[in-house]
Amino acid sequence: MTNHTHTTAHSNARWGWTFFPIWGGQALSSLGSSIAQFALVWWLTDLTGSAVVLATATTMALLPQIVLGPLAGTYVDRWNRRLVMILADGIIALLSLWLAWLFWSGSLQIWHVYLIMVGRSIGGIFHHPAIHAATAMLVPRKELSRVQGLNQALGGAVNVIGPPLGALALALWALHQVMFIDIITATLAIGPLLLVRIPEPERRPAGAGPRAVIGDMLEGLRYVRGMPGMMIVIGIAIGLNFVGVPTWTLLPLYVRDVFGSDAAGLGLVQSAFGVGLVTGGVVLSAWGGFKSRVVTGFVAFGLTGFAVLGVGGAPATALWVVAVGWFAFAFFNAIGNGTFMALLQGSVRPDMQGRVVSMVMSAVQLATPLSLALSAPMVERFGLRSWYLAAGVVTTVACVWALTSRSVRRLDEAGTQMDADPVAEETVGVAGRPLAEL
Considering only residues 46 and 337, tell me which one the structure prediction assigns the higher pLDDT. Answer: 337
pLDDT in tens, 197-226: 888 887 666 666 677 888 888 888 888 888
- Selection from 56-70, 134-148, 387-401 with the highest mean pLDDT: 387-401
Q: What is the reported pLDDT for 415?
A: 56
Per-residue pLDDT, 130: 92
3-state SS of the chain is CHHHHHHHHHHHHCHHHHHHHHHHHHHHHHHHHHHHHHHHHHHHHHHHCCHHHHHHHHHHHHHHHHHHHHHHHHHHHHCCHHHHHHHHHHHHHHHHHHHHHHHHCCCCCHHHHHHHHHHHHHHHHHHHHHHHHHHHHHCCHHHHHHHHHHHHHHHHHHHHHHHHHHHHHHHHCCHHHHHHHHHHHHHHHHHHHHHCCCCCCCCCCCCCCHHHHHHHHHHHHHHHHCCHHHHHHHHHHHHHHHHHHHHHHCHHHHHHHHCCCCHHHHHHHHHHHHHHHHHHHHHHHHHCCCCCHHHHHHHHHHHHHHHHHHHHCCCCCCHHHHHHHHHHHHHHHHHHHHHHHHHHHHHCCHHHHHHHHHHHHHHHHHHHHHHHHHHHHHHHHHCHHHHHHHHHHHHHHHHHHHHCCHHHHCHHHHHHHHHHCHHHHHHHCCCCCCHHHC
Per-residue pLDDT at 420 exceeds 70: no
Please state, for a pLDDT cut of 70, what percent of the chain lies above it: 89
Check whether 5 has a pLDDT greater than 50.
no
Q: What is the pLDDT of residue 98?
A: 95
pLDDT computed for residue 414 by the predictor:
64
| Tens-digit pLDDT profile for residues 82-94 | 999 999 999 999 9
Q: Averaged over 78-106, what is the pLDDT?
A: 93
pLDDT of residue 196: 86
Domains for the chain: give ranges and CATH numbers. 2-199+208-431 (1.20.1250.20)
Q: Once rounded to an integer, what is the mean pLDDT over residues 38-55?
A: 77
- Give the model's pLDDT for residue 60: 82
What's the whole-number average pLDDT of the chain?
Answer: 84
Using the predicted structure, report yes or no on whether residue 133 has a pLDDT greater than 80.
yes
* 421 — pLDDT class (breaks 50, 70, 90): very low
Give the model's pLDDT for residue 419.
Answer: 47
Q: What is the mean pLDDT of residues 285-298?
A: 92
Examine the pLDDT at 6 and tell me if it is beyond 80.
no
- Between residues 372 and 316, the one the model is more confident about: 316
Name the residue with higher pLDDT: 241 or 141. 241
Q: What's the whole-number mean pLDDT along residues 99-103? A: 93
Mean pLDDT to the nearest integer, 289-300: 93
Q: Say what percent of the chain tops pLDDT 90.
A: 38
pLDDT of residue 335: 95
**Digit-coded pLDDT (tens) for 169-192:** 888 888 889 999 999 999 999 999
For residues 119-144, average pLDDT: 90
Span 233-254, average pLDDT:
88
Residue 424 clears pLDDT 70, i.e. is over it: no
Question: What does the pLDDT read at residue 182?
Answer: 93
Determine which of 180-189, 230-239, 321-330, 368-377 has the lowest per-residue pLDDT on average. Answer: 368-377
Region 366-389 average pLDDT: 86
